[in-house]
A and B are shown apart, each in its own frame.
Chain A
Amino acid sequence: MNPNRTTETIVEAWLSDGFTAQPDAEQMLDNVRVAVADAPQRRYRWWPFPTKSGPTPARGSTMFSAVKFVVAGAIVALFGGFLLSGVLTHPSDESVPAASTSASPKVELPLEIPDDIPSGQLDTPLGPARWVHLSGDAETLPDILRPVPVPGGYVSLDDGHHSSTCPSGQSPCIYPAELWFSPDLIEWTRRPLPVDIEVAHLTNTGGEYWLNVNDEEENEDGSLDPPALWRSTDALEWNAVDLSGMEPPPPAVVEWSAHLPPDAVVVVEDAILVQMGYGAQVGKSLLGLPPEPEGEWARLERTDGGSYRVLGPYDDEHGRVRFEETSGGLRVIDDETDAELTVVEGISMDFIDRWAASGEPPFEYRLALLRDGRVDSVELPEARPEGHSFTLVETDDGFIALQPGSEGLIQTWTSPDGETWAVDEVLGDDPGEPVATHGVWNGPDGLVAWSFDDDTQVAEIWESSDGIDWQHHIQPPGDLVARLGSGWIGLDGAGLTIYPGGPEGPEVVDLQDLRMKLESAGEGGHGMAPIGANAIAHGVAEDGYGQRRDHWIITFDDLLE
């Protein structure tokens, strides 16, 4: 291939220019108009929502990390946010250790705001608040603002993205990951990253900052660089974490590619628990069929007769095989000719069945414990290889690992030291327990289990600060983005909304004085992230290219008093 042209640039240029047929838009609209005239809209009862049980206990300030809410919020982004509506108690024998709580530092805007920066004060249901409106461009502000308190100020990681179009017209645009720093939340400057990276995630756990990096640009030989993990005590000086000792899952005869999920690390004292996702790089050659010159990929489809169709990415059939178990592996036989294709040592029918069941080569997550310069693989008892990542929680008594599975059930494990693990109960199989069809997240002060019903289009979450007591929430109008003190900060089409109430009937208060120009958010969209435990950042990208940048920061001064 011409080294100056990547596959991506060629494909993106083709997608932009290679489709020339023009639609008859007016005819299409006429057809839609006719259909709409006779099509009733589906309307559901949205409000009030049923409450499940008793009063809400008093809670301290609870905050979930920006990353978690960005991820979780996006999952239920279509249909809004959540409202405190009840309390559910996980009927545990308290074998789950209590999660640790660590107060986030109070976030404060400078007392003196420069005159050229719009700012003001608000009276809100959560007490007095101060706000600033930062406007700038790619040279002065991050595109996405998710401030994380660090020594001497705040950092914000813009985790990078591709775009098929650029302001200057060239294609494609690549916006690499950027780290920004501000001493006061007002003035922002770029801060160097340890490597040039395109996609990264920043987390804060164990009193340190962790940056995980996954390579998304293939090398010339089609390979990807292995994932990298960096740690820092100040988000300024970074040290690489040696992950080379992490072992992929069995069978060893299979080559596995590795991927670090966003929340890959938790720390208890000197024990670092890391999870890695592994994808099997399996294809025809493993089965004794001619290999693909461009790399291995195939899926298996079990037939009624017990043989397996070997399918390529076009669903094109490359043969039919059947397997016979040997003392140390499998014999692969051509189903039509009965000829032996190969004997694969060290592989079992379990792996073949997983391969066939998932529709794609197997993918699973593994844990490892890093301590004293050693890397030890962690084997969770009764764990089944699943395509779902673990949610890892550090507690005063050790670790909790949770893994959502089928139908929203959550398998849990506990460990005092990261080495010895016990399988705990399954959540979600009894009334009152959380279910998580869309995952479980661990914030600095608690767990969030998310569930979304595609039929009723109702989103629910369960929240727990200790893994024992779970509070149930169901969506109110708007979009929850942050929990601040006793209230929720929401975002809807009209702007920011505060839901200060509890299950007795939440009061919904619009911040009428601080409309957030959502109508003009346009192609660039908008986002929101909590900062520390008493502030939020809300950003709008108005031009669709991420060049003009607008961010509002609101601090709630009394929340931590």
Chain B
Amino acid sequence: MEAELIRRAQTGDQRAFDTLASGLVTRFHAIAYRVLQDPDLAQDAAQQALISIWRDLPQLRDPSRFEGWSYRLLIRACYKEAGKQRRWRLRSSDRTDIEPITADLTNSVVERDRLWRSFARLSVEHRVVVVLHHYLGQTQGQVAEALDIPVETVRSRLRHAMRDLRAAIDADERPVPVGSTSPEVTR
């Protein structure tokens, strides 16, 4: 069914594309949200990726390869939005949007908060490989192909991203002094 929709959309059938996009929009937002950690930027990235898919769809030679191809366009859109995010962060570097975490909250909440902050501090390139590998379940080879980078680079990025996330988890599992706050990080 999807292949037929793709073929029709390739010929300029906007109704077919609309059906196709309807099936993608939520998934695209979920991926972009995890990479960018901002639902509004994720919305922009997902929309831009869908528009790029429409524009470039006639160039897709093999509809069965649509999924990987569409992820590539989505990641490009995420990179673009991440650039805006970085500029925004620089302008608002004195902001602290995250509520302080205190020791009376549950461990899992603290852990999620630490993970969020730690993940946010990774470069977008590192976040992308973590999301593709650990959220979408792609192999390191698939990630390398999707991003057009050597698999060793994927491996390197994954290793040090996971190392830093593990550090955040370890910090969480150490006793938290009453009244202490987590490090201030803007997002």
Q: Which of B59, B63, B145, B150 contacts A74 (CB under 8 A)?
A: B145
Q: Which residues of B contact A339 (CB under 8 A)?
A: none
Residues of chain B within 8 A (CB-CB) of A222 are: 163
Contact of A23 among B3, B25, B121, B133 (CB under 8 A): B25
Interface size in chain A (residues, C-beta < 8 A): 82
B-side contacts of A492, CB under 8 Å: 61-64
Are B65 and A37 in touch, CB under 8 angstroms? no
Q: In the complex, are the beta carbons of A39 and B65 less than 8 A apart?
A: no
Query: In the bound complex, how far is the Cα of B21 from the Cα of A35, in angstroms?
Result: 13
- Interface positions, chain B 88-119, Cβ under 8 Å from A, are 111-112, 115-116
Question: Bound complex: CA of A172 vs CA of B133, how far in Å?
Answer: 11
Determine if A41 and B163 form an interchain contact, defined as CB atoms under 8 angstroms apart.
no
Number of A-B pairs whose CB atoms are under 8 Å?
Answer: 219
B134 touches A12 (CB 8 A): yes
Report the count of interface residues on B (CB-CB < 8 A).
79
Contact B59 A164 (CB under 8 A): no
Q: How far is the CA of A525 from the CA of B67 in the complex (A)?
A: 9
B166 touches A78 (CB 8 A): no
Known: A297-B160, A387-B152. A478 touches B61 (CB 8 A): yes
Residue in B12, B111, B123, B141 whose Cβ sees the most chain A Cβ within 10 Å: B141
CB B42 to nearest CB in A, in angstroms, measures 7
Say whether A23 contacts B173, CB under 8 Å: no
B163 and A11 within 8 A (CB): no
- Give min CB distance, B85 to chain A, whole Å: 13
Known pairs A25-B26, A29-B22, A493-B6; A161 contacts B137 (CB<8 A) = yes
Residues of A within 8 A of B69 (CB): 77-78
A482-498 contact mask (Cβ, 8 Å, vs B): 1 or 0: 00000000011100000
Contact B18 A33 (CB under 8 A): yes
Task: Give the Cβ gap from A89 to chain B, nearest Cβ, in Å.
Answer: 28
Q: For B62, list chain A residues within 8 Å (CB).
A: 77-81, 478-479, 491-493
Provide the bound-state CA to CA distance between A521 and B64, in Å: 8
Q: Quick one: which of B3, B4, B142 has the most chain A CB within 10 A? A: B3
User: Do residues A519 and B1 form an inter-chain contact, with CB atoms below 8 A?
Assistant: yes
Q: Are B123 and A314 in contact (CB under 8 A)?
A: yes
| A42 touching B134 in the complex, CB below 8 Å, given contacts A1-B173, A77-B65 | no
Known A-B contacts A36-B14, A492-B61, A518-B3; the reply to A7 vs B47 at CB < 8 A is no
> B: which residues have CB within 8 A of A?
1-4, 6-7, 10, 12, 14, 17-18, 21-22, 25-26, 29-30, 33-34, 39, 42-43, 46-47, 50-51, 54-65, 67-69, 72, 111-112, 115-116, 121-123, 126, 130-131, 133-137, 139-142, 145, 150, 152-153, 155-156, 159-167, 169-170, 173
> Residues of A with Cβ closer than 8 Å to B?
1-2, 5, 7-8, 10-12, 14-16, 18-19, 21, 23-25, 28-29, 31-33, 35-37, 39-44, 46, 71, 74-75, 77-81, 161-165, 172-173, 199, 216, 218, 222, 259, 277, 279, 293-295, 297, 313-316, 360-361, 363, 387-388, 457, 475, 477-479, 491-493, 518-522, 525-526
For the A-B complex with A21-B39, A41-B54, A79-B60 known, give 20 more contacts whose Cβ atoms are closer than 8 Å: A10-B165, A15-B131, A18-B112, A18-B116, A23-B26, A23-B46, A28-B29, A77-B68, A78-B60, A78-B61, A78-B62, A78-B65, A164-B135, A164-B137, A294-B164, A294-B166, A313-B123, A313-B164, A388-B150, A492-B61
